[in-house]
Chain A
Amino acid sequence: MRVGVLLLVGSILLGSGCGHERSGSIREPSAPVRQERGGSEVEDEGVRAKGSTVSSRVSVLIANGQFAEAEALIAEGVASGLISQPHATRLLERIAQLNMKLGEISARLQRAPDFPSQLKDYTLFQIKQMLERGDYSLATEAQLRMAKKLLENPDRLMDKVR
Protein backbone atom coordinates (compact mmCIF):
# COMPACT_ATOMS: atom_id res chain seq x y z
CA MET A 1 0.00 0.00 0.00
CA ARG A 2 2.68 2.40 1.09
CA VAL A 3 4.59 1.62 -2.09
CA GLY A 4 1.48 2.22 -4.15
CA VAL A 5 0.96 5.65 -2.63
CA LEU A 6 4.58 6.61 -3.11
CA LEU A 7 4.50 5.50 -6.72
CA LEU A 8 1.29 7.38 -7.29
CA VAL A 9 2.71 10.58 -5.85
CA GLY A 10 5.80 10.11 -7.97
CA SER A 11 3.90 9.43 -11.13
CA ILE A 12 1.58 12.39 -10.66
CA LEU A 13 4.48 14.73 -10.06
CA LEU A 14 6.23 13.21 -13.06
CA GLY A 15 3.15 13.55 -15.18
CA SER A 16 3.08 17.30 -14.77
CA GLY A 17 6.66 17.52 -15.54
CA CYS A 18 9.79 17.59 -17.29
CA GLY A 19 13.24 16.07 -17.25
CA HIS A 20 14.15 18.25 -14.33
CA GLU A 21 11.93 16.36 -11.91
CA ARG A 22 12.95 13.02 -13.30
CA SER A 23 16.64 13.50 -12.93
CA GLY A 24 15.84 14.49 -9.35
CA SER A 25 14.57 11.00 -8.70
CA ILE A 26 17.97 9.63 -9.57
CA ARG A 27 20.06 12.19 -7.81
CA GLU A 28 18.20 11.85 -4.56
CA PRO A 29 18.87 8.20 -3.80
CA SER A 30 22.41 8.51 -5.09
CA ALA A 31 23.24 11.02 -2.37
CA PRO A 32 23.92 8.46 0.37
CA VAL A 33 25.69 6.29 -2.20
CA ARG A 34 28.21 8.98 -2.97
CA GLN A 35 29.45 9.04 0.60
CA GLU A 36 29.74 5.29 0.58
CA ARG A 37 31.17 4.88 -2.90
CA GLY A 38 33.54 1.99 -3.05
CA GLY A 39 32.16 0.44 0.11
CA SER A 40 30.39 -2.90 0.03
CA GLU A 41 27.38 -1.54 1.92
CA VAL A 42 26.33 0.80 -0.87
CA GLU A 43 23.04 -0.85 -1.65
CA ASP A 44 22.05 -1.42 1.96
CA GLU A 45 22.76 2.17 2.82
CA GLY A 46 20.36 3.37 0.14
CA VAL A 47 17.72 0.91 1.24
CA ARG A 48 17.88 1.98 4.85
CA ALA A 49 17.76 5.64 3.94
CA LYS A 50 14.64 5.37 1.80
CA GLY A 51 12.79 2.54 3.51
CA SER A 52 13.22 -0.78 1.84
CA THR A 53 10.91 -0.41 -1.12
CA VAL A 54 11.69 -2.15 -4.34
CA SER A 55 11.67 1.03 -6.36
CA SER A 56 14.16 2.75 -4.07
CA ARG A 57 16.46 -0.27 -4.36
CA VAL A 58 16.13 -0.05 -8.14
CA SER A 59 16.99 3.66 -8.02
CA VAL A 60 20.10 2.95 -5.97
CA LEU A 61 21.23 0.23 -8.40
CA ILE A 62 20.67 2.56 -11.34
CA ALA A 63 22.55 5.37 -9.64
CA ASN A 64 25.44 2.93 -9.10
CA GLY A 65 25.47 1.88 -12.73
CA GLN A 66 24.44 -1.68 -11.84
CA PHE A 67 22.03 -1.79 -14.75
CA ALA A 68 21.73 -5.56 -15.20
CA GLU A 69 20.89 -5.98 -11.51
CA ALA A 70 18.41 -3.09 -11.74
CA GLU A 71 16.69 -4.65 -14.74
CA ALA A 72 16.40 -7.97 -12.97
CA LEU A 73 14.89 -6.31 -9.91
CA ILE A 74 12.43 -4.35 -12.07
CA ALA A 75 11.27 -7.57 -13.73
CA GLU A 76 10.85 -9.14 -10.29
CA GLY A 77 8.99 -6.08 -9.02
CA VAL A 78 6.56 -6.17 -11.93
CA ALA A 79 6.01 -9.90 -11.51
CA SER A 80 5.22 -9.49 -7.82
CA GLY A 81 3.06 -6.42 -8.38
CA LEU A 82 5.32 -4.10 -6.38
CA ILE A 83 6.20 -2.00 -9.43
CA SER A 84 3.53 -0.89 -11.89
CA GLN A 85 4.10 -1.47 -15.59
CA PRO A 86 4.23 2.27 -16.46
CA HIS A 87 6.73 2.89 -13.66
CA ALA A 88 8.82 -0.07 -14.86
CA THR A 89 8.78 1.35 -18.38
CA ARG A 90 10.05 4.71 -17.11
CA LEU A 91 12.81 3.05 -15.11
CA LEU A 92 13.91 1.03 -18.15
CA GLU A 93 13.87 4.18 -20.29
CA ARG A 94 16.07 5.86 -17.69
CA ILE A 95 18.55 2.97 -17.90
CA ALA A 96 18.57 3.20 -21.71
CA GLN A 97 19.21 6.93 -21.45
CA LEU A 98 22.14 6.43 -19.06
CA ASN A 99 23.61 3.94 -21.54
CA MET A 100 23.28 6.32 -24.48
CA LYS A 101 26.48 7.72 -25.95
CA LEU A 102 26.84 11.40 -26.74
CA GLY A 103 27.48 10.49 -30.38
CA GLU A 104 24.04 8.88 -30.55
CA ILE A 105 22.00 12.05 -30.04
CA SER A 106 20.45 13.74 -33.06
CA ALA A 107 22.89 15.05 -35.67
CA ARG A 108 21.38 18.51 -35.34
CA LEU A 109 22.01 18.66 -31.60
CA GLN A 110 25.58 17.57 -32.24
CA ARG A 111 25.95 20.87 -34.09
CA ALA A 112 24.98 22.90 -31.06
CA PRO A 113 27.50 25.66 -30.40
CA ASP A 114 30.61 24.39 -28.51
CA PHE A 115 29.54 20.74 -28.82
CA PRO A 116 32.17 18.64 -26.98
CA SER A 117 32.73 16.06 -29.74
CA GLN A 118 35.64 14.42 -27.91
CA LEU A 119 33.01 12.89 -25.59
CA LYS A 120 31.11 11.18 -28.43
CA ASP A 121 31.97 7.65 -27.34
CA TYR A 122 31.03 8.20 -23.70
CA THR A 123 27.68 7.35 -22.18
CA LEU A 124 25.62 9.65 -20.01
CA PHE A 125 26.50 7.49 -17.02
CA GLN A 126 30.24 7.83 -17.71
CA ILE A 127 29.92 11.57 -18.17
CA LYS A 128 27.99 11.88 -14.91
CA GLN A 129 30.75 9.93 -13.19
CA MET A 130 33.43 12.26 -14.54
CA LEU A 131 31.47 15.23 -13.18
CA GLU A 132 30.99 13.52 -9.86
CA ARG A 133 34.67 12.69 -9.48
CA GLY A 134 35.78 16.08 -10.76
CA ASP A 135 37.67 14.31 -13.54
CA TYR A 136 38.32 17.01 -16.16
CA SER A 137 41.05 15.15 -18.04
CA LEU A 138 38.92 14.70 -21.17
CA ALA A 139 36.74 17.76 -21.05
CA THR A 140 36.21 20.87 -18.97
CA GLU A 141 33.50 20.98 -16.36
CA ALA A 142 31.37 23.21 -18.63
CA GLN A 143 31.74 20.73 -21.52
CA LEU A 144 30.78 17.80 -19.31
CA ARG A 145 27.74 19.73 -18.06
CA MET A 146 26.70 20.50 -21.61
CA ALA A 147 27.11 16.88 -22.71
CA LYS A 148 25.02 15.79 -19.72
CA LYS A 149 22.25 18.26 -20.56
CA LEU A 150 22.17 17.25 -24.22
CA LEU A 151 22.00 13.58 -23.32
CA GLU A 152 19.26 14.16 -20.78
CA ASN A 153 17.48 16.16 -23.43
CA PRO A 154 16.18 13.42 -25.76
CA ASP A 155 13.97 12.12 -23.00
CA ARG A 156 12.13 15.43 -23.19
CA LEU A 157 12.55 15.95 -26.89
CA MET A 158 11.79 12.60 -28.39
CA ASP A 159 8.09 12.22 -28.85
CA LYS A 160 6.22 13.60 -25.95
CA VAL A 161 4.31 16.76 -26.53
CA ARG A 162 2.35 17.52 -23.44
Chain B
Amino acid sequence: MFQAARKEGEADKDNPEQLRLHRELLAACPAFTPNLLRLARLLQLIDQPDVDAPESFSEAQRLLEQAVQSSERSAPSLVELGYFLDDLRNAPEDAFALYQEGAEKSLETLEYAWAGMIRYWTDKRTRESLTQALQLGEKALKVFPESERILYYVADARRYAVQQGILAAREE
Protein backbone atom coordinates (compact mmCIF):
# COMPACT_ATOMS: atom_id res chain seq x y z
CA MET B 1 0.00 0.00 0.00
CA PHE B 2 2.95 2.27 0.76
CA GLN B 3 4.21 1.69 -2.78
CA ALA B 4 0.73 2.30 -4.20
CA ALA B 5 0.56 5.62 -2.38
CA ARG B 6 4.02 6.57 -3.64
CA LYS B 7 2.86 5.76 -7.15
CA GLU B 8 -0.09 8.13 -6.87
CA GLY B 9 2.41 10.83 -6.04
CA GLU B 10 4.71 10.03 -8.93
CA ALA B 11 2.18 10.97 -11.58
CA ASP B 12 1.15 14.14 -9.77
CA LYS B 13 3.00 15.18 -6.65
CA ASP B 14 -0.02 17.14 -5.40
CA ASN B 15 -2.43 14.24 -5.89
CA PRO B 16 -4.64 14.13 -2.74
CA GLU B 17 -5.28 10.42 -3.34
CA GLN B 18 -1.83 9.86 -1.79
CA LEU B 19 -3.08 11.30 1.48
CA ARG B 20 -6.03 8.89 1.54
CA LEU B 21 -3.80 5.86 0.95
CA HIS B 22 -1.20 6.95 3.49
CA ARG B 23 -3.95 7.59 6.04
CA GLU B 24 -5.47 4.17 5.41
CA LEU B 25 -2.07 2.61 5.94
CA LEU B 26 -1.61 4.67 9.10
CA ALA B 27 -4.84 3.21 10.50
CA ALA B 28 -3.66 -0.33 9.72
CA CYS B 29 0.00 0.06 10.79
CA PRO B 30 0.34 3.07 13.10
CA ALA B 31 3.99 2.36 13.85
CA PHE B 32 5.27 2.01 10.27
CA THR B 33 7.82 4.83 10.30
CA PRO B 34 8.28 5.42 6.54
CA ASN B 35 4.56 6.01 6.23
CA LEU B 36 4.56 8.44 9.16
CA LEU B 37 7.44 10.42 7.66
CA ARG B 38 5.91 10.46 4.21
CA LEU B 39 2.47 11.52 5.39
CA ALA B 40 3.93 14.25 7.61
CA ARG B 41 5.85 15.54 4.63
CA LEU B 42 2.84 15.52 2.31
CA LEU B 43 0.76 17.38 4.87
CA GLN B 44 3.27 20.20 4.58
CA LEU B 45 3.02 20.24 0.80
CA ILE B 46 -0.45 19.34 -0.38
CA ASP B 47 -3.18 21.89 -0.05
CA GLN B 48 -6.37 20.38 1.35
CA PRO B 49 -9.18 22.88 0.77
CA ASP B 50 -11.19 21.67 3.77
CA VAL B 51 -8.29 21.70 6.26
CA ASP B 52 -6.63 24.80 7.71
CA ALA B 53 -2.90 25.13 7.32
CA PRO B 54 -2.19 25.33 11.10
CA GLU B 55 -4.21 22.18 11.57
CA SER B 56 -2.29 20.19 8.99
CA PHE B 57 1.03 21.46 10.40
CA SER B 58 -0.06 20.27 13.86
CA GLU B 59 -0.98 16.89 12.44
CA ALA B 60 2.40 16.71 10.68
CA GLN B 61 4.16 17.45 13.96
CA ARG B 62 2.22 14.74 15.80
CA LEU B 63 3.12 12.22 13.09
CA LEU B 64 6.80 13.16 13.23
CA GLU B 65 6.85 12.80 17.02
CA GLN B 66 5.17 9.43 16.60
CA ALA B 67 7.80 8.44 14.02
CA VAL B 68 10.60 9.35 16.43
CA GLN B 69 8.99 7.26 19.11
CA SER B 70 8.04 4.20 17.08
CA SER B 71 11.42 4.03 15.33
CA GLU B 72 13.27 4.24 18.67
CA ARG B 73 14.64 7.61 17.63
CA SER B 74 15.97 6.62 14.19
CA ALA B 75 18.20 9.12 12.41
CA PRO B 76 15.77 9.97 9.56
CA SER B 77 12.88 10.59 11.93
CA LEU B 78 15.01 12.76 14.24
CA VAL B 79 16.28 14.84 11.32
CA GLU B 80 12.80 15.22 9.82
CA LEU B 81 11.35 16.43 13.11
CA GLY B 82 14.35 18.73 13.47
CA TYR B 83 13.76 20.43 10.13
CA PHE B 84 10.07 20.73 10.85
CA LEU B 85 10.70 22.50 14.16
CA ASP B 86 13.41 24.63 12.59
CA ASP B 87 11.49 25.72 9.49
CA LEU B 88 7.90 25.85 10.61
CA ARG B 89 7.98 26.28 14.37
CA ASN B 90 10.92 28.64 14.63
CA ALA B 91 12.57 26.40 17.23
CA PRO B 92 16.19 26.20 16.04
CA GLU B 93 17.58 25.18 19.44
CA ASP B 94 15.31 22.14 19.73
CA ALA B 95 16.03 21.34 16.10
CA PHE B 96 19.78 21.50 16.70
CA ALA B 97 19.59 18.92 19.48
CA LEU B 98 17.67 16.61 17.13
CA TYR B 99 20.17 17.14 14.28
CA GLN B 100 22.96 16.27 16.69
CA GLU B 101 21.31 13.10 17.87
CA GLY B 102 20.47 12.14 14.27
CA ALA B 103 24.07 12.74 13.20
CA GLU B 104 25.41 10.54 16.00
CA LYS B 105 23.06 7.73 15.06
CA SER B 106 24.00 8.00 11.37
CA LEU B 107 27.70 8.02 12.13
CA GLU B 108 27.32 4.85 14.13
CA THR B 109 25.63 3.19 11.15
CA LEU B 110 28.25 4.56 8.78
CA GLU B 111 31.06 3.16 10.92
CA TYR B 112 29.53 -0.32 10.85
CA ALA B 113 28.75 -0.12 7.12
CA TRP B 114 32.28 0.98 6.18
CA ALA B 115 33.81 -1.68 8.43
CA GLY B 116 31.68 -4.29 6.63
CA MET B 117 32.77 -3.03 3.21
CA ILE B 118 36.44 -3.01 4.19
CA ARG B 119 36.12 -6.57 5.49
CA TYR B 120 34.38 -7.70 2.29
CA TRP B 121 37.12 -6.28 0.08
CA THR B 122 39.84 -7.61 2.36
CA ASP B 123 38.36 -11.12 2.29
CA LYS B 124 38.32 -11.17 -1.51
CA ARG B 125 42.11 -10.70 -1.43
CA THR B 126 42.48 -9.62 -5.04
CA ARG B 127 44.79 -6.76 -5.99
CA GLU B 128 41.86 -4.64 -6.92
CA SER B 129 39.73 -5.40 -3.87
CA LEU B 130 42.62 -4.84 -1.46
CA THR B 131 43.33 -1.49 -3.07
CA GLN B 132 39.68 -0.59 -2.58
CA ALA B 133 39.83 -1.74 1.04
CA LEU B 134 42.88 0.43 1.65
CA GLN B 135 41.31 3.48 0.01
CA LEU B 136 38.11 3.20 1.98
CA GLY B 137 40.12 2.49 5.11
CA GLU B 138 42.04 5.73 4.65
CA LYS B 139 38.85 7.71 4.25
CA ALA B 140 37.13 5.91 7.13
CA LEU B 141 40.01 6.66 9.49
CA LYS B 142 39.73 10.36 8.68
CA VAL B 143 36.14 10.33 9.87
CA PHE B 144 36.67 7.80 12.68
CA PRO B 145 40.32 8.14 13.74
CA GLU B 146 39.73 6.25 16.96
CA SER B 147 37.42 3.55 15.69
CA GLU B 148 38.80 0.27 16.94
CA ARG B 149 36.43 -1.52 14.55
CA ILE B 150 37.77 0.27 11.47
CA LEU B 151 41.39 0.00 12.63
CA TYR B 152 40.94 -3.72 13.14
CA TYR B 153 39.77 -4.37 9.57
CA VAL B 154 42.21 -1.87 8.05
CA ALA B 155 45.05 -3.73 9.81
CA ASP B 156 43.94 -6.95 8.08
CA ALA B 157 43.71 -5.20 4.73
CA ARG B 158 47.22 -3.78 5.16
CA ARG B 159 48.69 -7.12 6.12
CA TYR B 160 47.27 -8.80 3.04
CA ALA B 161 48.28 -5.87 0.87
CA VAL B 162 51.89 -6.20 2.09
CA GLN B 163 51.77 -9.94 1.40
CA GLN B 164 50.72 -9.25 -2.16
CA GLY B 165 53.24 -6.49 -2.64
CA ILE B 166 50.61 -3.77 -3.04
CA LEU B 167 51.91 -1.99 0.04
CA ALA B 168 55.55 -1.74 1.06
CA ALA B 169 56.19 -3.38 4.44
CA ARG B 170 57.40 -0.14 6.05
CA GLU B 171 54.07 1.53 5.33
CA GLU B 172 52.22 -1.08 7.34
Which A residues lie at the B interface, using CB under 8 A? 5, 8-9, 12, 16-20, 106-109, 111-114, 142, 146, 149-150, 153, 156-159, 161-162
Contact = CB atoms under 8 A, between A and B. Distances in A.
Q: Which of A19, A108, A142, A149 has the most CB of B within 10 A?
A: A108
Contacts of A5: 135, 139
Interface residues of B, number: 32
Interface in B29-67: 34, 37-38, 41, 43-47, 53-54, 56-57
B39 to A, nearest CB: 11
B6 to A, nearest CB: 8
Contacts of B87: 112, 146, 149-150, 153
B106 A159 contact: no
A155 to B, nearest CB: 11
Contacts of B8: none
A108 B83 CA distance: 16
B139 A108 contact: no
Given A18-B83, A161-B34, A9 B53 contact: no
B14 to A, nearest CB: 8
Contacts of A111: 53
Interface majority SS (helix, strand, loop, mixed), chain B: helix
Given A106-B44, A109-B45, A153-B87, A20 B99 contact: yes
B41 A106 contact: no
B41 A161 contact: yes
A162 B45 contact: no
B110 A112 contact: no
A113 B56 CA distance: 12
A9 B57 CA distance: 36
A157 B142 CA distance: 31
B155 interface: no
Q: Which of A16, A106, A107, A113 has the most CB of B within 10 A?
A: A16
Q: Which of B34, B37, B44 has the most CB of A within 10 A?
A: B44
